[in-house]
Amino acid sequence: MTLQGKNILICISGGIAAYKITYLIRDFIKKGAEVQVLMTPSAEHFVSKLTLSTLSKKPVYSDFYSDNGTWNNHVELALWADVILMAPCTANTLAKMVNGMCDNLVLATYMSAKCPVFISPAMDLDMYQHPSTTQNLELAEDFGHQLIPAEFGELASGLSGQGRMAEPETISKIIEEFFSSNKTLTGKTVLITAGPTYEAIDPVRFIGNHSSGKMGFAIAEEAANRGAKVILISGPSAEIAKHQNIEIHRVTSAKEMFTKVFDYYDSVDIAIASAAVADYAPKEIAQEKIKKNDDSLTIELVKNPDILKTMGERKKKQFLVGFALETQNEEENAKGKLAKKNLDMIVLNSLRDDGAGFKGATNKIKILTRDSLTDYSLKSKKEVAKDLLNFVEEQMLK
């Protein structure tokens, strides 16, 4: 499936060509994409939310608030998308886009976007040829958006000429080509660790941490999107690997993760250790549930095997990436870990940065090598994964 794991946000404006989007949604879904549909209020006159939500398997939004009062967060919708497709894009919506007008959910989401935007205009012949439309299309291209030109043919007005929205198969092909052009890791094998580890105290209790695995899974998806074969070794996590190039192995404890990592480590090209591995584990695991008999309980802990340090010691051809989550002396501690564990680069998170760290959809990182420090702004974890792999690829070319 050529669009496996891609998130496509389709924004429909109020034009007769809106009915064609039903065919496009079906095509995207068949090719493995997830599709979210937004509509301008006027678009509801041309195609129903029920039809679009049935095909996309997701609720369709046209207002900032749903009928039950739930806020449809335009920022989250924009961050979710790998691409935004404005189709059909009417003259009215186009003019608002390029002039910063924001009076509906579609436009608010568009103005919050950090991903590529594709515009497929559709309007009558004279409207398409009007100097204001020409200027607005040029402005949109100046913004970095990709235009999918209107096609020639019979129009709803009865006139014949340029103005028809590009056919669904044409739009689909352009989106596919966009995604397939970035296969920079084809032929590479990438090992990624993700999530926490749980160290058993007794049959029902454990020592763990708040890691969700979101960052590691985002890196795995992005590496797979770039053509890599991905071996993802995850501790307990609710995250799901969706790409067919990802081979996932679920483990629980640090010792299990250690064993699984070194089943594959010697044969990989890139290893990214994003898992939050527990440093210590109970020396003895009670065979039965420990009863609450005393006012205090003492548990003796012993060090777990240091997976990342061992990866550094056994490193041959692998490009090795570590993570450091710090609360104080962040850069100094990260540099120490970089050297001590023989890493090629380290990704630094600080819990003092709002929006960074465990569980959330965003992260803020710094990347350190032995001779450089690169600071990134707060981004979605999907965008952070792209920054990280871009940096890896640049370093490997040196």
Per residue in 253-279, pLDDT (tens digit) is 999 999 999 999 999 999 999 999 999
pLDDT score, position 68: 82
- Residue 360: per-residue pLDDT: 72
Strand 270-273 and strand 319-326: pairing? parallel
How confident is the model over 148-170, as pLDDT tens digits?
999 988 878 787 889 899 999 99
Of 72, 209, 333, 342, which is the active-site residue? 209
- Extract the tokens encoding 107: 């436009």
Residue type, 112: S
| Residue 357 clears pLDDT 70, i.e. is over it | no
Answer whether 320's CB lies under 8 Å from 343's CB. Answer: yes
**8 A C-beta contact, residue 164 and residue 151:** yes
355 conformational bin, left if phi > 0, alpha if psi -120 to 50, beta if neither: left
CA 247 vs. chain centroid, Å, equals 18
DSSP character string of 309-323: HHHHHT-SS-EEEEE
- CB-based contact 178:3 (threshold 8 Å): no
Single-letter amino acid code for the residue at 206? F
Task: Find the mean pLDDT for residues 157-184.
Answer: 87
DSSP lists the bridge partners of residue 9 as: 36, 84
Tens digits of per-residue pLDDT, 102-136? Answer: 999 999 999 999 889 999 999 998 999 999 999 99
How far is residue 88's CA from residue 122's CA, in Å, rounded to a whole number? 6
Residue 209 catalytic? yes
Domain annotation for the chain: domains and CATH numbers: 7-180 (3.40.50.1950), 189-285+296-397 (3.40.50.10300)
pLDDT in tens, 243-258: 778 999 999 999 999 9
Answer left, alpha or beta for residue 282, where phi above 0 means left and psi between -120 and 50 means alpha: beta
**Residue 354: which pLDDT band, with cuts at 50, 70 and 90?**
low
Please tell me the predicted confidence (pLDDT) of residue 359.
61
Question: What band does 285 get if pLDDT is binned at 50, 70 and 90?
Answer: very high
Q: Is the dihedral of CA 222, 227, 232, 237 positive or negative?
A: positive
Rg (CA), the chain: 25
**Residue 235 structure tokens:** 């501790």
Per residue in 291-347, pLDDT tens? 887 788 899 999 999 999 999 999 999 999 999 988 788 899 999 999 999 999 999
For residue 111, what pLDDT is reported? 96
